[in-house]
Amino acid sequence: MAAALLVLAHPRTDSLTARVAARARDRLAAAGHTVDVLDLHTEGFDPRMTPEDEPDWADREKRYSPEARAHMARVEAADVIVVVFPVWWFGLPALLKGWVDRVWNYGFAYGRSRPRLAGKRIQWIGLAGYSREHFAEGGWDDLIDRQLRVGVSRFCGIEDARVHLVYDTVASGAHDQALLTSADDALSAFLTAPAPAPARAAG
């Protein structure tokens, strides 16, 4: 049975983002995954970088803080990672950016000849307030895609990485079902895609 890590980054449990995450949890479980739900707000994750978790470029074996190492273990245990978040200022919310900074750290997620995260799969699902046309006009959809799919995922050895944006979420309400379906369809396509090659051992 495959293990999935579902990461949620939103301060309100009644938000559309939380509803998308809840449906993703159910869909992952229905697909036969064991699901570890990581609600960063509920668990009180601290996104602030401290000297204890700052990368040491001369020591890739640096022992990071207990909190960071606990999260690293959850990432490492997952075969599939699904991250659900609101798009704020055309990027990740501070809580999620801090999670990447502290947890996807040097020596763990990158900095090795054979990446520890190779062979994993990741789906990023961002909820954006503007329309698809507005995002395309500004080029922001491409920027977010490149940052998450290439700059984070592939940089850390995850080749099977996808980014899906759900647009027009500020005007949610009457068309919530269409927004939820957009996220559902993206996750279904991700889960039914061919599996990647097995991960290689860390070097």
pLDDT 10s digits, 6-54: 999 999 999 999 999 999 999 999 999 999 999 999 999 999 999 999 9
The yes-or-no verdict on residue 145 having pLDDT over 90 is yes
Look-up of token digits 């369809």: 185
List, in order, residues 6 or more apart from 73 with CB less than 8 Å away: none
Cα–Cα distance for residue pair 115/47, rounded to 1 Å: 24
Q: Which helix (H) or strand (E) holds 80?
A: strand 80-86
Structure tokens at 96: 């999620």
Structure tokens at 197: 């090659």
pLDDT level of residue 201 (50, 70, 90 thresholds): very low
Lowest mean pLDDT segment, chosen from 28-32, 95-99, 135-139, 151-155: 135-139
- In this prediction, residues 164-175 reach a mean pLDDT of 80
The yes-or-no verdict on residue 202 having pLDDT over 80 is no
pLDDT level of residue 203 (50, 70, 90 thresholds): very low
Of 83, 84, 79, 76, the residue nearest 31 (C-alpha): 79
Beta-sheet pairing, 80-86 with 34-39: unpaired
Percent of the chain exceeding pLDDT 90 equals: 82
Give yes or no for a contact between 37 and 8, defined as CB atoms under 8 angstroms apart.
yes
Of 138, 128, 71, 130, the residue nearest 105 (C-alpha): 71
Burial class (CB in 10 A: 0-12, 13-18, 19+), 128: buried
- In this prediction, residues 96-123 reach a mean pLDDT of 96
User: What's the pTM?
Assistant: 0.92
Of 46, 34, 2, 39, the residue nearest 20 (C-alpha): 39
pLDDT level of residue 177 (50, 70, 90 thresholds): confident
